[in-house]
Structure 1
Amino acid sequence: MIKDSYLVVGGSGFLGNHIAETLHKRGDTVFVTDLVQRHSNAIEFHSADLTDKDALHALIAKLKPSCVIHTASPIHGLSQDIYQAVNVDGTANLLEASRTNNVRKFIFTSSAGTVYDGGDLIDVDERCPYPTKAMDAYNQTKADAEKLVLNANNDDEGAMRTCAIRPAGIFGPGDRQVLAGLIKVVENNQTKYQIGNNENLFDWTYVHNVVHAHLLAAEKLFNAPVDPSIFTENIGFVDPTQNDIKVPTSRSRNVGPHPTRDVTGDEKQSALMYNKGVKESKPLVRTKFDQFIDPSKPEIASALKVSGNAFFITNGEPIYFWDFPRAVWKGIGHIPPQPTVFSSSLGYFLGAAAEVFAWFSGREAGFTRYRVNYASSYRFFNIEKARRVLGYEPVVGLEEGIQNTLDWYKSTQIKS
C-alpha cells in the first residue's frame, strides 16, 4: 500500500503544528502551508494565502499530496468579512484546488460550535442541526465551510473523499488563546468573579486527542461502513482521569433514539432524572450511536462511514465550566478568593453595556454577551459516533492534559 503524503494547511497554527509534528515524527511525508512560518523545524514550509486561488492550485500541483488536512481559520473576535473570505471562500478555493489536482483525502477541522446558537447543548450528537441563526460570524462561517466540505465528498472510484472533525474547547502546549486568556484574568485580578452558577457542564479537549482524531479520519476515510452489529456491543465509558466523571458518554438525552417518532413520557423522565444526577445502568433515552441502540433499527449505511460525515471530538470528560480555569489557576500557584457570583442574566446585561461602551470608545470589548453565554451555557457533546465509526478514544486525560499544558507554560516562562 502506498503511504499518504500530507499537506497541513494552517500548519503554523496551534493545532496544525501539532498535526504536522506528529506526522513528521512517525516518518510520513508532510508539508506545511500558512501565511507565515512560526516554527523552526525540519518540515518543509510553503507560504500561501487561502484567498489566492491560483497560488493554491500551483502549490498543490507542485507538492502532489494525497491528503490535505485543512486546519486554517482566523481567531475569534475578527470581522465578518475576514471569516467569510478565509473560512468559506478560502475553503472553497482549497477544495477546488485539491479536487483538480487529484487529492484523494480532504480532512477539515470544523468546530463543535457549528451547532451553537447561544443555548444549551446537552450531550448532543451529530443529529443536532445547524442553527437557524448562529451565535456569531465565526461559528456561522465554520458551519458554512463544513457544509462545503461534506457536500464535496465523492465515494466514486478515484474521486476525493472528505470528512469534518468537530473539536470542542481545544487546549494544550502551544496554545496562545485559552491559556493566555486565563493568565490575563489572573493578571487583571478578576478571578474572584464568576458568571452563572457553575452547574453547566462543558467539554474541553486536549490537543493530542484532536490530532489523534484527524489521523484516524485520514486512515479510515476509504473504509467501508461499519457493521451495524457494532451497536450491540458495550464499549463502556471513556476512562476518566478525574476522580468522578460527571457524565458518561453513553447516556440519555431528551430526544428519542429515532428522530421520526415522539419522545415518550418515560423517556422524558429518564432524561430529566439523568440531568439531575441520577445515573441509570440502561437509560431509556439514548443517542443513536451508543450501545443501547435498538439493533433492529440500524443506522443507514451513509452514517456508518467516515467519508461525508462530521464527528464531534472531546475528551469524553465534561466538567463544570469554572472548574477548568480554577484548575489552571491553581497549577500556576494562584488560589482564587471566594467567588462573587453574577447571574447569567445580569452578566448578559453587563456584557451588552460593555459592548456599547467599547463601540463608543473605539476599543475592543473584553467582556461581551458572547463570553457570558460561553461561560454559563451547557456545552458538551456525545462522542459515540467517533468511538464506533472512527475508532476514536481519547489518548490523554483531562487532568494529565492540564498538567502537560502547565508544564509547557512554565518552561516557556523560564526561557523568556
Structure 2
Amino acid sequence: MSDEPAPEIRYLVLGGAGFLGSYIVQALISRGDTHVAVFDLREPAQEDKIERVSYYTGDICNLDRLVDVLKETGANVVFHAVSPIHGLSDSIYQRVNVDGTKTLLEACRHPSLSGNVFKFVYTSSTGVTWRAQDIVGATEEQLPIPENGYDMYHHTKAVAEKMVLEADGDGMRTVVIRPGGMIGPRDPQLLHRLAAALAEKKHKVQIGNNTNLVDWVYAGNVADAHLAAADRLPSRKDLDANTTPHPVAGQVFIITNGTPMLQWDFSRLVWRALGASPADLDPKKATKIPRWLALFMATIAESWCKLNGGHTELTKFNVIYSTTTQWYNIDKARHALGYQPRVSLEEAAAMSAKWWKERGEKEHKARQASRRKLL
C-alpha cells in the first residue's frame, strides 16, 4: 500500500448546468469543496453561474473533448447527470443516454489520463424498472430491469445504468442513483405543466380515483445522495488495496423523500403553493374521469395529433403514470449512504412555486417564444 498522501479531490459534474446537476454543484460548493467543474452542452445564464466553479461546454459524445476537459480539470470524481428531458425523439435518447455514457466511460479510462478518475456516480431513474405495473414499497433487489423499457427514455437509461455497473472495478468504482420524480426550483418540466393546468382550469379534472400512492423527491435531497455515494466509494488508497466487497461500489440506490403521497394530493399541494385556494382545490368539486375512459380519450387524442401534427398532454403514458401506485423502500440508501431527506415535499413545493412566480414562468415563456421563431 502506498504511503503517498491522498490525491486532492477534484469533481467534474456532467450536466451541471441542468436541473439536478446544478443542485449537485451547489451542494459541493456549499460544503466547501474548492475544485468543482461543470461540463454541459451549454453554459448556464450568467446569473446562474456559481462562484468558484469552472464551466466547460461540449458534446458528451465527443471523446476528444471529454478527455481534454478531464485532463484540464484533473477530475478524479465524476458525476454523470446528463439527461434529455421527456418528450424528445428516440434517437436523442439513444445518442445521449447510451452513446454518451459509453463515450464518457471510455474517456474516464483513457490511457492518457493515467487512471485519474477513480469514482463515478451515475444518475439513473426509478423508471428504468417500470412497466406500468403497481410498485408497492419495493426495494432495489425486488425490481429487475425489463428487457425492454416502457419507453425509449427509460429503456436507454437502463442500458446506460448497466454499462456503468459493469465498469465498476479495475481502478474505477461506480455507483448508480435512481431518483423518483423530482421537484424543486429550476425544474424544467413538472412545474410548468402543473402551472399550465392551473391556469387553464384543468386542475378541476381528476383522472382516476386518487387511491395510488406515489413517491416524489426534492432535487436537493437527490444531490445530497449523490455526494454521500461519492464520499462512500472507495478512496484511491482503498482502490490500490483492492478491498472488496464494498457496500456502495457497484450498487444501485433508490432515492425518494420517503413520504409517498396520493397522486392528486401531491398535485394539489403544488397548486396550493402556486396560489390556488382550498375551495378551488376541493376534491369533491373535481370532475372525476375513470381511468378506462381517460385511456380511451388519450388514444383518440394521440391518433388525432399523429394525423394532424398537433400536441396533446392527454397521452396514454400520462394517464397510466398518474393512476399507478409507485412508492419504494429506501432503507438501503438510509443504511449504506446515511441518506436522510432534509427538505420535505411541502417545503419543496413552496420553494418551487416561489421560484416559478419570480422567474420560472417568464423564462419558460421566453423559451417557448424562441422555439416558435425557429419554427
Report runs of 4+ in structure 1 exceeding 6 Å deviation: 413-416
2:18 aligns with: 13
1:129 aligns with 2:135: no
2:164 aligns with: 149
Q: 1:397 to 1:7 in 2, by over 3 A?
A: same
1:336 aligns with 2:281: yes
- Taking the aligned partners of 2:210 and 2:73, their CA distance within structure 1 comes to 49
Of 65, 69, 75, the residue aligned with 1:65 is 75
1:50 aligns with 2:55: no
1:360 aligns with 2:307: yes
Pairwise CA RMSD: 1.7
Q: For residues 59-101 of structure 1, what are the alpha-carbon distances to aligned partners after superposition, in whole Å with 9 as ceiling and x for unaligned?
A: 2122220101000011001111110000001000001101223
1:115 aligns with 2:57: no
2:222 aligns with: 210
What residue ranges of structure 2 are gaps of 5+ in the alignment?
Answer: 1-5, 236-243, 364-375
Q: For residues 213-235 of structure 1, what are the alpha-carbon distances to aligned partners after superposition, in whole Å with 9 as ceiling and x for unaligned?
A: 00000000117xxxxxxxxxxxx
C-alpha contact 1:205 1:398 (8 A) present in aligned 2 = yes
1:105 aligns with 2:119: yes
What residue ranges of structure 1 are gaps of 5+ in the alignment?
Answer: 224-300
Counterpart residue identity of residue 267, structure 2: P
> Percent of aligned pairs with the same residue?
41
Single out whichever of 317-326 and 48-57 deviates more from structure 2: 48-57
1:87 aligns with 2:101: no
Q: For residues 174-203 of structure 1, what are the alpha-carbon distances to aligned partners after superposition, in whole Å with 9 as ceiling and x for unaligned?
A: 112111110011122211111111000000
C-alpha contact 1:14 1:174 (8 A) present in aligned 2 = yes
Counterpart residue identity of residue 190, structure 1: K
Single out whichever of 335-344 and 356-365 deviates more from structure 2: 335-344
- Taking the aligned partners of 1:215 and 1:353, their CA distance within structure 2 comes to 45
Query: Equivalent residue of 1:403, what SS?
Result: helix
Q: 1:69 to 1:329 in 2, by over 3 A?
A: same
Q: 1:377 to 1:112 in 2, by over 3 A?
A: same
1:395 aligns with 2:339: no
2:29 aligns with: 24
CA shift at 1:408, angstroms?
2.3
C-alpha contact 2:186 2:360 (8 A) present in aligned 1 = no
Counterpart residue identity of residue 340, structure 2: E
Query: Equivalent residue of 1:191, what SS?
Result: helix
Query: Equivalent residue of 2:109, what SS?
Result: helix
CA shift at 1:415, angstroms?
8.5
Of 316, 321, 326, the residue aligned with 2:268 is 326
- Taking the aligned partners of 1:402 and 1:98, their CA distance within structure 2 comes to 37
CA shift at 1:3, angstroms?
3.8
Q: What are the residue-to-residue correspondences of 1:211-230 with 2, within 5 Å?
A: 211-222=223-234
Query: Equivalent residue of 1:316, what SS?
Result: coil
Q: 1:329 to 1:163 in 2, by over 3 A?
A: same
1:248 aligns with: none
Q: 1:164 to 1:350 in 2, by over 3 A?
A: same
C-alpha contact 1:135 1:370 (8 A) present in aligned 2 = no
Q: For residues 115-169 of structure 1, what are the alpha-carbon distances to aligned partners after superposition, in whole Å with 9 as ceiling and x for unaligned?
A: 0111111111111101233211001001010000011000x4xx00000100001
Q: TM-score, normalised by structure 1?
A: 0.77
Q: TM-score, normalised by structure 2?
A: 0.86
More helix by share: 2
CA shift at 1:323, angstroms?
0.6
Counterpart residue identity of residue 82, structure 2: A
- Taking the aligned partners of 1:314 and 1:168, their CA distance within structure 2 comes to 5
Q: 1:414 to 1:372 in 2, by over 3 A?
A: closer
- Taking the aligned partners of 1:54 and 1:330, their CA distance within structure 2 comes to 48
- Taking the aligned partners of 1:149 and 1:206, their CA distance within structure 2 comes to 24
Of 212, 232, 244, the residue aligned with 1:200 is 212
